[in-house]
Amino acid sequence: MKTVTNVFDLRSTLGAWREKGQRIAFVPTMGALHAGHLALVDHARKSAGKVVVSIFVNPTQFGPGEDFERYPRDLEADAEKLRDAGVDLLFAPPVDVIYPPGFATTVHVAGVSEGMEGARRPGHFDGVATVVARLLCLVLPDVAVFGQKDAQQCAVVMRLVADLGLPVEVRVAPTVREADGLALSSRNAYLTAAERTAAPALFRALLVAQLVHELGEKKPEKVLKAFRLALETEPLISLDSADLVDAATMRPVEKIDRSVLLAAAVKLGRTRLIDNVVFGG
């Protein structure tokens, strides 16, 4: 695996592959890699001859008081995991390569980015959309792979790619979970032992809500109530947000008569975790 940190080296490596007719799959990440990221890499490897992964902790998607400073960073350990996973190229740029002096563009994806996490974390999806647009323009992959755990992010990226006509196929890979159901996340590293034991209650509560719908309940408020009641059985978890929206548009629904996304964020101590399920339709 080759590691590059600047645009010149990135483009010359990619250019040489393209001249040989290689397809390129891309997995953008912020590092602190776990099995969930490696599942995205696996998906990428099956989609193209060459796999590029970026590691960049993007400052513009963190709000004031969020965990940008303490976000886990270990480039060497990450590089080793990627090498073992058969990645061909690691792009690990410093901040001024992604945002050179004078950089003045912000990408705002209206609609899908404005509700839910977008409303609660102002500027977050502008940061995500801007960095993803920048990375896609630098790498120009045939395929880019994102994880379903960040469902709203996937919707934002798909809208962005469609609206700008970027010639890349966006693929969404399923959430990878621990045996007890906890969705893999770099932020799981922040959990104390007791919080880690409590954390799977989030996914269990999402499944309870899904089951309530599958048993016939079509009213979003009733399904959300079932979710909240199930979550309350775990005292270490406090609910931060729960949204039940159309899975494609991310807009609230009045009735569950189509594919919907139930997405939730919870707090365990200082750690905020997200997860979701898709059902209905």
Given the complex with ligand PAF, which of 175 and 210 has the nearer CB atom? 175
Listing DSSP states for 179-198 in one string gives TTSPBP-GGGGG--HHHHHH
- Binding to ligand PAF (CB under 6 A) within 72-131 occurs at 128, 131
Q: How far apart are CA 5 and CA 220, in angstroms?
A: 47
Given the complex with ligand PAF, which of 157 and 266 has the nearer CB atom? 157
**Shortest approach of ligand PAF to residue 68 CB, angstroms?**
11
**Annotated catalytic residue 37:** yes
Q: How far apart are CA 281 and CA 272, in angstroms?
A: 30
Given the complex with ligand PAF, which of 58 and 148 has the nearer CB atom? 58
Give the count of residues interacting with ligand PAF (CB under 6 A): 10
Which candidate in 34, 37, 43, 213 is catalytic?
Answer: 37
Exposure string (b/e) for 48-77, b if CB count within 10 Å is 16 or more?
bebbbbbbbbbebbbeeeebeeebbeeeee
**Could you say whether residue 29 binds ligand PAF (CB under 6 A)?**
yes
Instruction: Extract the tokens encoding 42.
Output: 């696996």
Triad 76, 77, 82: Cα angle to 5°:
95
Q: How far apart are CA 154 and CA 142, in angstroms?
A: 17
Cβ distance 243 to 263 under 8 Å? yes
- Pick from 274, 261, 40, 260: nearest CA to 149: 274
Given the complex with ligand PAF, which of 29 and 271 has the nearer CB atom? 29
**Shortest approach of ligand PAF to residue 234 CB, angstroms?**
26
Site map for ligand PAF, 40-59, x if CB under 6 A? ------------------x-
Single-letter residue type at 230: A
**Shortest approach of ligand PAF to residue 95 CB, angstroms?**
12
Given the complex with ligand PAF, which of 32 and 230 has the nearer CB atom? 32
- Binding to ligand PAF (CB under 6 A) within 139-168 occurs at 150, 153
Residue ranges in contact with ligand PAF by CB under 6 A = 28-30, 58, 61, 128, 131-132, 150, 153
By annotation, the residues acting in catalysis are 37
